[in-house]
């Protein structure tokens, strides 16, 4: 005869084994899905200011201001293994002092069940577009990219970049008025 603890241990071990197998099948059923889609972006207003950096050396650095339009439909990305999407808009550019600069300008979390068809017009950035120098004024090739992380119930956390980028340039003169 087995004791109550032995039987409880056997039931618990069997239950955990079944749950681990089900979790693996949940992951395996969605691992090959292509989560890429297109996004349309456009800049509406673009300004650049030269402002002092009060945190470090009091040198003046460039601070960019943009407003943007963003259209994409992400509803088809949700399936039974996707809990939420973490979207973020980045700007990439090259300066004389840095070969690659990447700045996150905006982000959003979309939970399962929410409307994931985005149609934003004239949106302000959520975070500062700060350059550690004077690399924004007259920068002719700044590229906006929309990316997202898929937060699954089980499995990998893929980082996907949308197809569809938008390139723009900053003006040649600094703006002195309030933006």
For residue 162, the tally of other CB atoms under 10 A from its CB is 21
How many CA within 13 A on the CB side of residue 63? 15
Give kind and range of the element (H or E) at residue 19.
Answer: helix 4-30
Rounded CA-CA distance 48/107 in Å is 21
As given in the structure block, the two tokens for residue 84 are: 């939420």
CATH topology of domain 34-168: Immunoglobulin-like (2.60.40)
**pLDDT greater than 80 at residue 177:** no
Give kind and range of the element (H or E) at residue 7.
Answer: helix 4-30
Rounded CA-CA distance 68/105 in Å is 10
Q: What is the DSSP-derived secondary structure letter of residue 92?
A: E
With a pLDDT cut of 90, the percent of the chain lying above it is 64
Report the DSSP beta bridge partners of residue 113. Answer: none
Task: Provide the pLDDT confidence category of residue 57 given band limits of 50, 70 and 90.
Answer: low
Rounded CA-CA distance 174/74 in Å is 37
Helix (H, G, I), strand (E, B) or coil at 22: helix
Question: What's the whole-model pTM score?
Answer: 0.84
Rounded CA-CA distance 109/114 in Å is 10
| Residue 179 pLDDT | 62
As given in the structure block, the two tokens for residue 63 are: 């601070």
- Each residue's pLDDT tens digit, 152-164: 988 889 899 999 9
Rounded CA-CA distance 107/47 in Å is 21
Q: How many residues does the chain have?
A: 179
| Residue 169 pLDDT | 92
As given in the structure block, the two tokens for residue 102 are: 């990447």
| Domain ranges across the chain | 1-30, 34-168
Rg for the chain, CA atoms, rounded: 23
């Amino acid at each position: 005869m087995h004791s109550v603890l032995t039987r409880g241990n056997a039931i618990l071990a069997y239950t955990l084994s079944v749950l681990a197998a089900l979790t693996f099948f949940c992951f395996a059923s969605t691992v090959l899905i292509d989560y890429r889609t297109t996004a349309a972006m456009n800049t509406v207003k673009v300004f650049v200011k030269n402002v002092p950096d009060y945190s470090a050396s009091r040198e003046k650095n460039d601070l960019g201001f943009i407003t943007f339009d963003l259209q994409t439909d992400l509803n088809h990305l949700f399936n039974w293994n996707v809990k939420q999407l973490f979207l973020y808009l980045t700007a990439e550019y090259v300066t004389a002092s840095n070969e690659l600069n990447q700045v996150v300008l905006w982000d959003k979390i979309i939970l399962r069940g929410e409307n994931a068809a985005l149609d934003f017009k004239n949106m302000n950035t959520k975070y500062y577009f700060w350059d550690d120098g004077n690399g924004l004024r007259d920068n002719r090739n700044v590229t906006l990219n929309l990316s997202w992380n898929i937060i699954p119930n089980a499995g990998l956390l893929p980082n996907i970049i949308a197809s569809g980028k938008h390139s723009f340039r900053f003006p040649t003169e600094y703006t002195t008025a309030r933006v």
